[in-house]
Amino acid sequence: MSGIKGKNTKPELVIRRGLHALGFRYRLHDYRLPGKPDLVLLRWRAVIQIHGCFWHGHACPLFRWPQTRQEFWRAKIGRNVERDREVDVALDRAGWRVLTVWECALKGPGRIGAEAAVTRVAEWLRSDESTGEVRGTDGASR
């Protein structure tokens, strides 16, 4: 697991490049905020979390429980999901808007593609919504 990247993942780079091209400016992994969000957009008082479907237990075709060491994986992924909720609540209480972009939006059978994902992120940033999600077509996007 030490070889698993936590920063500068492919989905994160795709969203970062797309937003930058649209003129959005952001900070990366701001340690002063709960959970060190992937992108922090100060002007919009918004943070964007880009989650891998496996590591964050997303209910989509990209997530399957491992067949080996099931007890370990259920505890690990369960704690990741719990931590995600805690971080979202802490960010909300601190007055930040939170958007979650799931890996399945950019990869897999239900992907919507990079351009559509970046467009949805930009639309959310310009909206007044306090929370949102961008995911593949196997689930509702807001």
The secondary structure of 109-120 as a DSSP string is TT---HHHHHHH
41 closest CA partner among 16, 6, 12: 16
7 closest CA partner among 30, 23, 26: 30
What is the reported pTM? Answer: 0.89
pLDDT in tens, 56-111: 999 998 899 999 999 999 999 999 999 999 999 999 999 999 999 999 999 989 99
Residue 141: pLDDT over 90: no
Tell me the three state secondary structure of residue 29.
Answer: coil
Give the model's pLDDT for residue 137.
Answer: 86
Structural domains of the chain ordered from first start: 1-61+99-128 (3.40.960.10)
Instruction: Give mean pLDDT, residues 22-47.
Output: 96
Residue 129: pLDDT over 60: yes
Are the C-beta atoms of 66 and 59 separated by less than 8 Å? Answer: no
